Structure 1
Amino acid sequence: MTIASLLEPVDGTPGPRRLSHAADWMQGRTLYGGASALVAFTMARRAFPDLPPLRAAQIGFVAPVGEEIELGVEMVREGRNVTQVRSEIHAGGKLALTAFWLFAAEREANAVRPSDPPADWPGPPQENAQAMKGEGPAFIQNNFELRFGQARDADHGATIRRWARLTEQHELDPVSRLVLMGDVMPPGAMRIMQRVGPISSINWSFNVLDPESRSKDGWYLAENASQHAGAGYSSERLRMWDSDGRQVLDGLQCVAVFG
């Protein structure tokens, strides 16, 4: 089912909605994090259609998001260059997701520093074997094609890196595509778990480095790396690069590690 069908009920008007095409985007009891974040982002964009490009976001995954939801949105502040918007998703009468979006117009640069290229560039996706075919959550099988972005026979510590693209070339603007895909990798802490157990994203904060990104054939290299794990949680750094090795997204996430 296309992402456009999932987003169709999100018209920018606050109130109850039914995401009748959510089934293909579910991850256990809840909508996949990137999809639920995209619902909240689309709510902000459709409520205020003249916003400048998105530059940053802070998202709290509070509770499961299902088909029956209620959407809310408010303009927090509209400045000369920067506009801040809050959108929320309620489910079962309780807050399920809260998102704070920072939109900002482009200005003349007074500081320029290109992001560092990724270490151990894996080569283009077509030169890497397919990953997770017939494995993993249903939303992966239904909507994404993954290829390895690391040597399979090497020790990568607590880092997971894969090439990823949507199996259907949905008609999404570049930023919506990054929001949808930015949370696609499992946490790097999965590589170092001592026992099998569930994991759950608690929040996600990211900066958009290129709001006009259009990577070749829709492929992006996505990486999740645990920076510190302990006490049942992992601090993860999430990054994405386009097919030419330019970083387009930089983020952090707190993940609960159970078991």
Structure 2
Amino acid sequence: MSIANLLDPITADGGQTRFSGLDAWMQGRTLYGGASALIAYTAAVRAFPDLPPLRAAQVAFVAPTGPEAELRREIVRQGRNVAQVRSEIWCEGACTLTAFWLFGTEREANAEHEAAPVSDWPGGPEQAEPAMHGKGPAFIQSNFELRRAQELQGPGEPVVRRWARLAEREGLNPVSELILLGDVLPPGAMRAMKRQGPISSINWSFNLLEPEPQTRDGWWLSENASQHAAHGYSSERLRLWNAEGKQVLDGMQCVAVFG
């Protein structure tokens, strides 16, 4: 099922919505986090089409999301330059995802500072080796193409870096593409785990560095890096660069690491 077909049932009116054919986007018993975040974002922008560009977001993955959902969204505040919108997914009478989106018009720059270039540039994606082929959740095999972007394999520095792109991108704008891709990799803490076990994203917050991000042939360099892991949780920094090495997204995430 293409991501465009997944988003088709979302209307400007929100409310009760049924998503069919979710099998290709499921991660265990819930919808993949990037897909559920994109549903919440799409519900917001279809309800309020005159919003300025997206600048930042805070997403909480509260509970499993399934095919029968109620989509709620509201403008919390509309200022002259900035609009703040809340959108939520409810299933069986309980909130399963809540998100806060910050939209802002462009203003004259009073501060300019480019994000630092990516360290240990792996080279472009075209010649990189395939990664996770036949491995990982089914939604990755069905919807994404991943290629290696670091020499490290197995335990070591708690960083996971891959080239990633959607198998089918038609009908998706670049911002929606980044929301869908931003949570695709396993946490960097995976490399520090003493034994294999389940992991689960709890939240995700990010800033968009470019209002209209662009890349080559759909490829984005994705990195998850554990900043600190203890007590069953990992604090992760999530970043995305385009195929030229320009950073387009900077984010943070809390991940539950089960024993």
TM range (shorter): over 0.9
Indicate if the aligned counterparts of 2:156 and 2:192 stay in contact, CA closer than 8 A: no
Distance in 1 between the 2:153 and 2:138 partners?
A: 26
The aligned runs of 1:109-258 (5 Å cut-off) are 109-152=109-152, 156-258=156-258
TM-score normalised by structure 2 residue count:
0.98
Going from structure 1 to structure 2, the CA distance change for 1:154 and 1:21 (only over 3 Å counts) comes to closer
Indicate if the aligned counterparts of 2:14 and 2:70 stay in contact, CA closer than 8 A: yes
Where does the alignment leave 5 or more consecutive residues of structure 2 unmatched? none
Select between 10-19 and 92-101 the one with higher mean Cα deviation.
10-19
**Shift in Å, 1:156:** 5.0
Report the 3-state secondary structure (helix = DSSP H, G, I; strand = E; otherwise coil) of the residue aligned with 2:235: strand
Counterpart check, 1:45 vs 2:60: no
The aligned runs of 1:80-95 (5 Å cut-off) are 80-95=80-95
Indicate if the aligned counterparts of 1:68 and 1:91 stay in contact, CA closer than 8 A: yes
Select between 96-105 and 119-128 the one with higher mean Cα deviation.
119-128
**Shift in Å, 1:14:** 2.7
- Equivalenced residue count is 259
1:21 partner amino acid: G
Going from structure 1 to structure 2, the CA distance change for 1:58 and 1:153 (only over 3 Å counts) comes to closer
Indicate if the aligned counterparts of 1:27 and 1:139 stay in contact, CA closer than 8 A: yes
The aligned runs of 1:66-105 (5 Å cut-off) are 66-105=66-105
Distance in 2 between the 1:148 and 1:176 partners?
A: 23
RMSD of aligned alpha carbons = 1.1
Superimposed CA distance per residue, residues 41-73 of structure 1 (whole angstroms, 9 cap, x where no aligned partner): 000000000000000000000000111111100
Distance in 2 between the 1:111 and 1:229 partners?
A: 34
1:35 match: 35
Select between 94-103 and 6-15 the one with higher mean Cα deviation.
6-15
**Shift in Å, 1:211:** 2.0
1:24 partner amino acid: A
Going from structure 1 to structure 2, the CA distance change for 1:251 and 1:121 (only over 3 Å counts) comes to same
Indicate if the aligned counterparts of 1:5 and 1:21 stay in contact, CA closer than 8 A: no
1:143 partner amino acid: N
Identity, % of aligned positions? 64
2:246 partner amino acid: R
Where does the alignment leave 5 or more consecutive residues of structure 1 unmatched? none
Poorly superposed stretches of 4+, deviation over 2 Å: 152-156
